[in-house]
Amino acid sequence: LFFPFLYGSGPAGIQYFGPWTHSEVIAYFGISTMPFVIFGLFDKNKHKYFWIFIAIFSFLLVFGGTAPYYKLMYHVPLYNKFRIPTKNWYEFGMAFSILAGFGFNYFIENVNKKIKKSITASIIFLGSIASIFVIVSKFLIQKTDGKILYRLGLELEQVQLLVKNIKISSPSIFIPLAIFAAAIILLVISLIKKNKIIYFLFIVLIFFDLFTIRNYTEGNTSKEYVYKSIEDTTDFKYLSSESENFRIYPHADFRPEGLRIYPNANTHYHLDIITGNDPLALSVYSWVTGLGYFERDNVENLLKNNTVLSILNTKYIFCYEPSDKTQFFKDINVKAEYKIYWEKEGVLILENPNYIPRFSFVSNIIEVADVEDASKILWEGSDINSRESFNPNKTALVENPEFKNSFFDTKEAGLQVLQYKNNKIVLKTQSPQDSYLVFSDTYYPGWKAYIDKEETKIYRTNGIIKGIYIPAGNHEIVFSFLPTNFWLGFCVSLISYVSIIVAIFVLFLKNRNFRC
């Protein structure tokens, strides 16, 4: 809350060694805003009690299991999606901001005598925090070379880094102390004479306070670190040079030549992966594949089941080199199913020559009732009813098809990708007979498909991806994603913004008429 960068400030700046990740734990709402929170406690606005309760309640939740009601809160819908306790900083920040707003209004409207006690209390509070920190830093840590920190269970390198970072000359210290000093000076001046210039200076200080801390975090992250070019690498140029669409299974989280793909950094390089870092992983996708939030450990099971990886358009698999490589290769049938593409730094990159293209026509379909039926076939390798071997190159599992055809002649079927964007794909297809097109992309509500501008049904295919039935002839196929929830959210946001603007305008007119 006061010195957020004692433990470091990000990947390319001072190394962070605190719990979880830097962005998950650090919460900073400004030093210069704290006096106004104190003023807000004295404001006559009745709503302040609600926000004081929210601030205290959420602040205690930040400490996790030490809060007596923490476990009880995980029975509350939506709240139980918070993956770590520090996410409760969001509620605290909301309450903090509103109380600060009440306080700023209180600071403006009240005369010097009435607010003198509040200002004095704020000066004492800020001065005490700064003084205590300087004393602890100078005499308990610097004088003892950080020996007292070993009692916290820190390692030698961490202690050395913290001692270095806690010096007054460190930006993580002198910037907050400068803001402390500036806030105290403005408060002292306001005791002597309060005018509009003080209000303006406080606004400037708050902006500088929040902007500086934000820039200290993001400014320490170089573009070269985040956006390293694949073309500049020696071993991985092929990932961007290939013209076809394919996916990667990055089970091994490693950084070859500074290039990092997982988690979610693949978006910078326009590379598609079959897993990611997301607390709201799709349940059906996770159930069928075994992949989900932080669930990347079933690499051997997936490698043994080449079918699931193949239908997901997975061409390359990054995995750690096993201790018993011979047995590992035997278990996954590497000679028949995979090729060893790259081997270095304890990491293997396997190529899957059986991967299904992003778009493909199939010769026949198998009707399934639901995802469970499809999953059984995918993992058992054969149709439950006919016991025929399931080959995803030729066959698709279609959930409750509404067309009669089960077999298709794909010899003369072809397609051309005209446009491929995240929310819109345009294809041109041609086939003298009816066909079934498999689109290796997650089946999800909100996607719509059009054949020559007429909407057609998207079928859940192979349990987790999409497919459509296409009549004979030449057609333009469009897949687009614009869910109803988007328009609902857009309308709610638009109405809210307009209402706020109208309310501000009405209050301004009332205030103006009152003064007249």
Query: Which residue numbers in the chain have pLDDT < 70?
Result: 1-25, 83, 111-114, 136-162, 164-165, 168, 170-171, 194, 213-235, 240-242, 253-260, 262-263, 279, 292-298, 381-388, 513-516
Retrieve residue 241's tokens. Answer: 């040079």
Is 229 domain-assigned? no
Is 335 domain-assigned? yes
Is 282 domain-assigned? yes
Is 382 domain-assigned? yes
**372 lies in the same domain as 427:** yes
User: For position 415, which CATH number holds?
Assistant: 2.60.40
Q: Which pLDDT score is estimated for 296?
A: 45
| Buried b / exposed e along 145-156 (16+ C-beta atoms within 10 A) | ebeebeeeeeee
Q: Which pLDDT score is estimated for 23?
A: 63
**335 lies in the same domain as 371:** no
**326 lies in the same domain as 367:** no
Q: CA–CA separation, 202 vs 207, rounded Å?
A: 9
- Compute CA distances 340 → 62, 327, 343, 351, 352, whole Å: 46, 15, 7, 6, 9
Retrieve residue 327's tokens. Answer: 């047995």
- Whole-prediction pTM value? 0.69
> Can you tell me which residue has the tokens 């993001």?
218
Is 69 domain-assigned? yes
The SS3 call for residue 209 is helix
Is 236 domain-assigned? no
Q: CA–CA separation, 244 vs 430, rounded Å?
A: 20
**51 lies in the same domain as 193:** yes
**129 lies in the same domain as 265:** no
Last residue of a domain, one of 320, 351, 382: 351
- What domain range is 304 assigned to? 244-351
**337 lies in the same domain as 365:** no
The SS3 call for residue 295 is strand
| CA-based nearest residue to 438, from 396, 491, 477 | 396
**C-beta of residue 366 within 8 angstroms of C-beta of residue 374:** no
- Compute CA distances 143 → 152, 153, 213, 240, whole Å: 17, 19, 28, 54
**297 lies in the same domain as 418:** no
Q: CA–CA separation, 375 vs 397, rounded Å?
A: 10
Report the 3 state secondary structure along 14-54: CCCCCCCCHHHHCCCCCCCCHHHHHHHHHCCCCCHHHHHHH
Last residue of a domain, one of 194, 224, 254: 224
Q: Which pLDDT score is estimated for 266?
A: 78
Last residue of a domain, one of 351, 386, 419: 351
**366 lies in the same domain as 404:** yes
**490 lies in the same domain as 477:** no
Q: Which pLDDT score is estimated for 295?
A: 47
Q: Which pLDDT score is estimated for 515?
A: 59
Is 462 domain-assigned? yes
**200 lies in the same domain as 68:** yes
**48 lies in the same domain as 160:** yes
**75 lies in the same domain as 193:** yes
How many domains does the chain fold into? 4
Is 100 domain-assigned? yes
> Can you tell me which residue has the tokens 């005499």?
139
Q: CA–CA separation, 348 vs 226, rounded Å?
A: 24
**C-beta of residue 377 within 8 angstroms of C-beta of residue 397:** yes
